[in-house]
Amino acid sequence: MSIPNDNDFNLIARVDYGVKKGAAQARLEHKLAGRPIFVLENGKVVEIPPEKIEVGDDLPPSPI
């Protein structure tokens, strides 16, 4: 196993940012379209109606 370098951490940060940005975009699209989302809470699938979907602006700055 090799020692992680700066490029590895940069890639990890970019992937993490992309996943968070994609999830935020999906929440917004579902809310605007009036569609519920489904999440896993305590091992059970729970439906969140569109009016209760939280769309925060909580993304960290882009690592790019």
The model's pLDDT over 43-60, given as tens digits with 9 standing for 90+, comes to 999 999 999 999 877 776
Q: Would the pTM of this model clear 0.75, i.e. be above it?
A: no
With CA atoms as reference, report the closest residue to 55 among 16, 34, 14, 26. 26
Long-range contacts of 24-27 (CB under 8 A, 24+ apart): 24/55, 24/56, 24/58, 24/59, 27/53, 27/54, 27/55
Each residue of 22-51: pLDDT tens digit?
A: 999 999 999 999 999 999 999 999 999 999
